Structure 1
Amino acid sequence: MNKQPKKIIIFDDDEDILSICSYILEEQGWDVHTFTDCNHITEKVSAILPNVILMDNWIPDAGGIVATQTLKKEESLKHIPVVYFSANSDIQLLAGHAGAETYLAKPFDLEELERVINTVVVAH
């Protein structure tokens, strides 16, 4: 039986983070999609329908909070878990305000990245 790969979208304008996360997650069998802005976010997410989304706080143009809130208002997308990630010390507050399921503080180690993603995917 051919198992569909798990899909993840990473929204971050930092190319280094995108390439490191993509490399690690692809090694784990994920199908990784990356975007450096959150413009037309509902269209982007609807086209892929990922198992999980990683959302940076400072993503252009609207920012992670507005982007996450936009997704959570969409009936067809609101079930997709969002992991909010940021170097901001208020990340827990920001993630809660955005409506994200969980958060990951930057800088993070790769085990922590995998653990947070796997926890939120198993929970959904």
Structure 2
Amino acid sequence: MNDNARKIIIFDDDEDILSICNYILEEQGWEVSTFTNCNNIIEKVSGIKPDVILMDNWIPDNGGIVATQTLKRDPDLKHIPVVYFSANSDIQLLANHAGAETYLAKPFDLEELERIINGVLVK
């Protein structure tokens, strides 16, 4: 385990998206954690302390908006950038409502995924 590796958490209940993102990001040296629900999100995120979070809109049980808002209210976690992703046409509104730093519309291409993630990284 590389202590200097950048960490990312992906919250999505779509196993295909998780495996694609996992593969691509690990190839780039990320340490990837994935969850198919957002239950106990504070504990999940606190245990990993990621550099970036990818949040699906339709994540069980509470959904991405509630999950993101929960993180943004937590003083220890609110600084972690959240990339909201969804196939919804109003994703920009959803991301703003959730308090996410940015968003990525599904389906996305891998260059876009990389660009968005690298764009929110705190240098």
Q: Give the TM-score category using the shorter length.
A: over 0.9
1:78-89 equivalence runs, <5 A: 78-89=78-89
SS at match of 2:7: strand
1:92-111 equivalence runs, <5 A: 92-111=92-111
Q: CA deviation at 1:3?
A: 6.1
Q: CA deviation at 1:77?
A: 0.1
Which residue number corresponds to residue 62 of structure 1?
62
| TM-score of the aligned structures, taking structure 2 as reference length | 0.97
Which residue number corresponds to residue 5 of structure 2?
5
How many angstroms apart in 2 are the aligned matches of 1:46 and 1:77?
A: 7
1:24-39 equivalence runs, <5 A: 24-39=24-39
Structure 1 residue ranges, 4+ long, deviating more than 6 angstroms after superposition: none
SS at match of 1:21: helix
Q: May I ask how many residue pairs the two structures share in their alignment? A: 122
| TM-score of the aligned structures, taking structure 1 as reference length | 0.96
* CA-atom RMSD in angstroms: 1.1
Q: CA deviation at 1:54?
A: 0.0
Gaps of 5+ in 2: none
Which residue number corresponds to residue 45 of structure 1?
45
SS at match of 1:115: helix
SS at match of 1:37: coil
How many angstroms apart in 2 are the aligned matches of 1:99 and 1:119?
A: 17
SS at match of 2:31: strand
Which residue number corresponds to residue 76 of structure 2?
76
How many angstroms apart in 2 are the aligned matches of 1:81 and 1:119?
A: 10
Gaps of 5+ in 1: none
How many angstroms apart in 2 are the aligned matches of 1:3 and 1:11?
A: 22
SS at match of 2:103: strand
Which residue number corresponds to residue 20 of structure 1?
20
